[in-house]
Amino acid sequence: IVAGQWTWDNAIATASAVGQNGKGGLIVRDFNYQIWQNLASIWNGWGASPWSDDGKTCTMTEKPMVDALTFIHEAIFKKKAIPGPGENVDFFAGNAAMTITQISRASLLPKDKPFSWDLVPLPKGPAGDYALIGQAGIGVMQTGKNAKTAAEFVAYMTSPENSAKLSQFFPSARKSLLNAEVLKTTNPLLSQEQIDKVVISGIVTGKVIPGHTGFAQIQQAVRSGLDAVWRPDADIPGTLQKICGQIGPLLKR
């Protein structure tokens, strides 16, 4: 990393070496060949996206996505760097070299039989450095029976004091709480350097994980379509063409 060589090619080479020795290489946490949007943690490094910025046009057939999924496919089936379909490997049990996940998952690190670990940014991709973030929020349904009381509760939950408490689960949207001092208190396993270089920098520069109106239906269609990619002899461009044909009308709703 210090030498500027933390790239996806080098990361997969390391994961492949571990994978060929009987352990898991790289785990994309919660992906499991179902939650495909978590692969944005890899394909964003190619500048790929499943749809256009306005959400109306499928872009999975474009070169960045084809190249990124080809890279992922080779990492799975040729290089054995990523566990294949049906393989259940847990980084937090000490069975893999690397995992991509949220900082809150550090709480899963074993206390009885600890092992050395580090937190680093995502590797650099062909499109350059990047970061991926998720979002969570608390809202009130205006048509609810107790909207006023609910709004008061949201105000209570998101006060400065309670926002600081929530920071142990999610880095806060409040700038006053988005600093290493606060996050170190609520995430004691992380060093100040890790928080500065990975967490805070990632939130400032990161793109949000893919989402869409009517996402449940779109997610299912893409998941089903990608099943054809998760096989050794996959036709990746052809499969992505079919997926775009399926979700195109859904994106325009």
Q: How much is the CA Rg of the chain, to the nearest whole Å?
A: 20
Helix (H, G, I), strand (E, B) or coil at 209: coil
pLDDT of residue 17: 96
- The DSSP code for 125 is B
Domain boundaries, the chain: 8-134+209-251, 147-206
Closest CA to 221 of 253, 183, 186: 253
Residue 173, pLDDT score:
77
Which architecture, in CATH terms, is 8-134+209-251? 3-Layer(aba) Sandwich (3.40)
- Per-residue pLDDT, 9: 98
Q: What is residue 166's predicted lDDT score, i.e. its pLDDT?
A: 84
Here the tokens at position 42 are 């890899």
- pLDDT of the residue at 60: 98
Q: Distances in Å between the alpha carbon of 221 and those of 114, 168, 218, 229, 237?
A: 40, 35, 5, 14, 17
Mean pLDDT, contiguous 10-residue spans, the chain (253 residues): 93 95 93 97 98 97 99 98 95 95 84 89 96 88 95 94 82 83 79 87 90 95 98 98 98 91
Counting Cα atoms < 13 Å in the Cβ hemisphere of 133 gives: 17
State residue 244's pLDDT score: 98
Instruction: List, as one string, the DSSP characters of 27-77.
Output: EETTTTTT-GGGGHHHHGGGT--SB-TTS-SB-TTSHHHHHHHHHHHHHHH
Residue whose entry in the numeric block shows the structure tokens 């995502």: 122
**Cα(141)–Cα(147) distance, integer angstroms:** 6
236 token code pair: 């990746």
Element at 208 (helix H, strand E): strand 207-208
DSSP of 145-190: TTHHHHHHHHHHHTSHHHHHHHTTTS--S-GGG-SHHHHHHH-TTS
Residue 7: HSE in the Cβ half-sphere, 13 Å Cα cutoff: 11
Consecutive H or E run containing 222 = helix 215-226
Distance of CA 100 to the CA centre of its chain: 7
The amino acid at 178: L
